[in-house]
Chains A and B, each alone.
Chain A
Amino acid sequence: MSDFLFGHVGSDLFREFDRLQHHMSTLAGGFPASLRSNQSYFPPVNIGATDDAIEIVVFAPGFASSQFELSIDKGLLTIAGERKRPEAATGEGARSYARERFMGAFRRVIELPPNANPDDVKAKYTDGCLLIRVGKHESSKPRSITVL
Chain B
Amino acid sequence: MSNETEVTRRDAGELGQRDAAGRRAVLVPAVDIIEDKYGVTVWADLPGVPKDKLDIKVHGDNLSIEAEAVVPTPAGMSVTHSEVRTSRYARAFSISPDLDTSKIDASLQDGVLTLRIARREAALPRRIEVTSA
Contacts and interface: CB of A to CB of B under 8 A. Distances in A.
Contacts, number: 155
Contacts of B49: 127-128
Given A61-B45, A97-B35, A9 B30 contact: no
Q: How large is the interface on B (under 10, 10 to 19, 20 to 34, 35 or more residues)?
A: 35 or more
A40 B12 CA distance: 7
Interface of A: 4, 6-7, 9-10, 19, 22-23, 26, 37-41, 43-51, 53, 55, 57, 59-64, 85-86, 88-89, 91, 93-102, 125, 127-129, 131
A86 B43 contact: yes
Contacts of B34: 88-89, 91, 94-97
Interface of B: 1-3, 6, 10-13, 15-17, 30-37, 41, 43, 45-50, 69-84, 109-112
Contacts of B41: 88-89
Nearest to A103: B32
A62 B78 contact: no
Contacts of A131: 71-72
B36 A93 contact: yes
A26 B78 contact: no
